[in-house]
Amino acid sequence: MGVLRVGVVGLGNIAQKAWLPVVANARNWQVVGAWSLNQQKAQAVCAGYRIPCVGDLPSLAAQCDAVFVHTSTASHYAVVSELLQAGVHVCVDKPLAESLSDAVRLVEMASRRKLALMVGFNRRFAPLYQTLKTQMDGAASLRMDKHRTDSVGPQDLRFTLLDDYLHVIDTALWLGGEPAHLQSGTLQTNDEGEMLFAEHHFACDHRQITTVMHRRAGSQRETVQLVTDGAVYNVTDMRDWQCEQGGIITQQPVASWQTTLAQRGFEGCAHHFIDCVTNQTAPQTSGEQAILAQSLVERLWREAMSE
């Protein structure tokens, strides 16, 4: 394969804030174009990044080896399936598809065509989370909190679980490193069926894992605490590291050269996808991996609805 030809589908808020600054900074690949349903908006965004604005999805697919997809969750199945059928490798925002059955179909489609299908769980590529994962030996418990200042609704419980809580579930269980079993939990909603609070407890080998989210906590803070045999580690907002060992607290300064997108894993995630396509290797956050987390979130939703 020569220079990888890369495209972008969907140019909304997350694409502009997190992905385009990385993808458009081409190194070993060429950004050949981008497409969005809103062509007026697409032209303005593409002009800002000096990326060709393509008029329709089939035209973009015909020019690309790999595409980053940042459209709405409801459109994931239609967009990703069209790209896979055109023989294009895909990295798509989580969740893989709006329904679990559609997600399974996409995984099967990519497998038949021997194409890379990756889901953008950026937190798995956050450097401090990757460092924390190396400290799991002897771990007794891990707790991950991801809160919102005031983000109750307007979407329903299932949407919020798949759109946001899925990150917490995937990251915490990935850090745990072993198959986890749900022990207990709670989901609280308001009268409109919108999510207020979630807390779940998992058993993972000899350690306990807890995931927590409050949608109106007055804080945007994200924290992970790992308690091991001999040390307690705390990571805050993927940028602040603290270790307490033998009564001594040490902190790890943020590297002056490291960008926020690198700290939050977007840079590592994008480069990993490019490397996988180039080297024909399986992504760490493959479609199969994404289905595991989505299956668990779907279970939490079904059980909440049956109560």
pLDDT(140) > 70:
yes
pLDDT(123) > 80:
yes
Residue 220: in which H helix or E strand, if any? none
DSSP 8-state symbol, 156:
-
Higher-confidence residue of 204 and 275: namely 275
Question: Is 4-121+266-286 CATH 3.30.70.1280?
Answer: no
pLDDT(256) > 80:
no
The 8 Å CB, 24+ separation contacts for 240-249 are 241/128, 241/131
pTM of the model: 0.93
pLDDT the model gives residue 178? 72
Q: Distance (Å, rounded) from C-alpha 281 to C-alpha 96?
A: 19
Where does CATH 3.30.360.10 sit in the chain? 127-258
Average of per-residue pLDDT across 270-284: 94
- What is the per-residue DSSP string for 130-144? HHHHTT-TTEEEEEE
pLDDT per position as a tens digit, 50-80: 999 999 999 999 999 999 999 999 999 999 9
pLDDT the model gives residue 21? 94
Where does CATH 3.40.50.720 sit in the chain? 4-121+266-286
For the chain, the maximum distance between any two Cα atoms, rounded to a whole number of angstroms, is: 61
Question: Is 127-258 CATH 3.40.718.10?
Answer: no
